Amino acid sequence: MDVVFPWRKLMAGREMAGVQIVKQCREICHPDVKLKVIIESGELHKPDLIRRASEIAIEEGADFVKTSTGKVAVNATLEAAEIMLDVIKSSQQDVGLKVAGGIKGAHAALKYMALAEKIMGNHWINAQHFRLGASSLLDSLLAAIKGETEPGMSARDTGDY
The catalytic site residues sit at 2, 66, 98
Which helix H or strand E contains 120, and what residues bound it?
A: helix 106-120
> How far is CA 49 from each of CA 9, 46, 109, 150, rounded to the nearest angstrom?
11, 5, 24, 34
Bridge partners, 99 (sequence order): 132
Torsion over CA of 55, 43, 10 and 69, rounded to 10 degrees? Answer: -60
| Amino acid making up residue 104 | K
> What distance in Å separates the CA atoms of residue 65 and residue 48, rounded to the nearest whole number?
16
At residue 126, what are phi and psi to the nearest 5 degrees? -155, 170
